[in-house]
Homo-oligomer: A and B are copies of this chain.
């Protein structure tokens, strides 16, 4: 295994703490039985191929309506995180939102969320990314927590199924299309970061790296402008070809993601000078439960040291790392070390995070317990 050396990084101003956690999963969980009824995806196939038990959808496949936009989910997750942090929304200095599936190209969804939070004059940024987006957004936010900037709200979410054609006869979908409905769910997660020396999960390091030189994308998500005027003349086949929303090279993902995860963990441990045994919890990529389990086994991690949610939530993209972080909250002991990884197969991004749970520290950095 090739482990590459990372450049050291100045940490002084960029190690904030997470002081609030929030999430929003739309509606009731959709079970595999319901998937069979709604989408003609066989329960057994879901269990064998994906391994997830349930997921949440922003669209209603029964009524074929879109019930939640990304802004809805992100606002709800944000409100929970702000409440959990015990601050007022007005105290936020900046908001960073990451998504692969914004409600519009303009305005950015982050600004709709800012409006719904009743804010004015807050700095806002929106990151366009797939799975790696949540860690990229945390990375941007922590670098901006300098000077007078004290509090950042960071949100990740995706409404994957909004861009699928709800009018389709699902029983006639090819398996290359089926996989998108089977693998992905919708949701949002959020955290509040502070650069103050409060109790919280301290982000010590974030890595975000493009590693796709010369390699074909493992995942493409198209989105389109106006429908051509001559659309009525096009055959269904032509239309489907021209307007294919999502495309995966599932074999490439299966091949590369576990290896990249293994490398990322080694690199993060090297960066922090931590041994594998010192780490209390791992946050492995949440692709689908079968593949996540495969990664955990490959890495030889004890299952109870890993934080997983994909089996219940489905793969909801930019929300996942926040859902994992929220599940960490409450079970951490002081100085627990955490290593998380998210791999984006679209053009092969390797992202990772290291955290330490800090509690009862005085402002001079010494423990006061």
Interface, chain A (partner B; CB < 8 A)? 4, 7-11, 13-14, 93, 100-102, 104-108, 111-112, 114-115, 118-130, 136, 139-140, 143-144, 146-149, 162-169, 208-215, 217, 219-232, 236, 239-240, 242-245, 344, 346-349
Measured CA separation A84–B222 after assembly (Å): 34
Partner of A347 from the list B108, B211, B225, B346 (CB cut-off 8 Å) is B108
> What are 19 A-B pairs at a CB distance below 8 A?
A4-B121, A7-B149, A101-B105, A104-B221, A105-B223, A106-B220, A106-B344, A111-B210, A114-B210, A121-B209, A121-B210, A124-B210, A124-B349, A125-B136, A163-B226, A166-B228, A223-B225, A226-B240, A231-B231
Residues on the B chain within 8 Å of A245, using CB: 225-226
3 closest Cβ pairs, A-B complex: A163-B225, A10-B147, A107-B347
- Do A111 and B347 touch (CB < 8 A)? yes
Please give, as numbers and ranges, the residues of chain B lying within 8 Å of A220 by CB-CB distance: 104, 106-107
Closest partner residue, chain B, to A129 (CB atom): B108
Q: Is the CB of A9 within 8 A of B226?
A: no
Would A100 and B105 count as touching, CB distance under 8 A? yes
Q: Are A213 and B120 in contact (CB under 8 A)?
A: yes
Pick the contact of A222 from B11, B93, B105, B215 — CB < 8 Å? B105
Chain B residues in 8 Å Cβ range of A223: 104-105, 223-225
Number of copies of this chain that the complex holds = 2
Judge whether A128 and B146 touch: CB under 8 Å.
Answer: no
**CB of A90, distance to nearest CB on chain B (Å):** 11
State which of B13, B121, B222, B240 has its C-beta within 8 Å of the C-beta of A13.
B13
Q: What's the minimum C-beta distance from A141 to chain B, rounded to whole angstroms?
A: 10
- Contact A210 B123, beta carbon cutoff 8 Å: yes
Known A-B contacts A8-B148, A129-B108, A148-B9; A225 and B226 likewise in contact (beta carbons under 8 Å): no
A121 near B211 (CB under 8 angstroms)? Answer: yes
Contact indicator A208/B124 (Cβ below 8 Å): yes
Q: Is the CB of A128 within 8 A of B114?
A: no
A229–B168 touching, CB < 8 Å = yes
Contact of A236 among B219, B229, B240 (CB under 8 A): B229
Contact A165 B225 (CB under 8 A): yes
Q: Is the CB of A349 within 8 A of B229?
A: no
Contacts of A230 in B (CB 8 A): 167
Taking a contact as CB atoms closer than 8 A, the residue among B13, B100, B106, B240 that contacts A146 in the complex is: B13
Q: Is the CB of A227 within 8 A of B210?
A: no
Distance, CA A217 to CA B13, complexed state (A): 36
Residues of B with C-beta under 8 A to A239: 227, 231
- The answer to whether A115 and B212 touch (CB under 8 A), given A128-B127, A346-B107, A349-B124, is yes
Residue with the highest number of chain B CB atoms closer than 10 Å, among A8, A128, A140, A347: A128
With both beta carbons as reference points, the residue of chain B lying nearest to A64 in the complex is identified as: B228
Q: Are A225 and B111 in contact, CB atoms less than 8 angstroms apart?
A: no
Residues in B with CB closer than 8 Å to A165 are 225-229
Report how far A226 CA is from B350 CA in the complex, Å.
29
The residue on B at minimum CB distance from A223 is B223
When A123-B208, A126-B127, A211-B121 are in contact, do A221 and B105 touch as well, CB less than 8 Å? yes
- CA separation between A229 and B214, bound complex, in Å? 36
Contacts of A221 in B (CB 8 A): 104-106
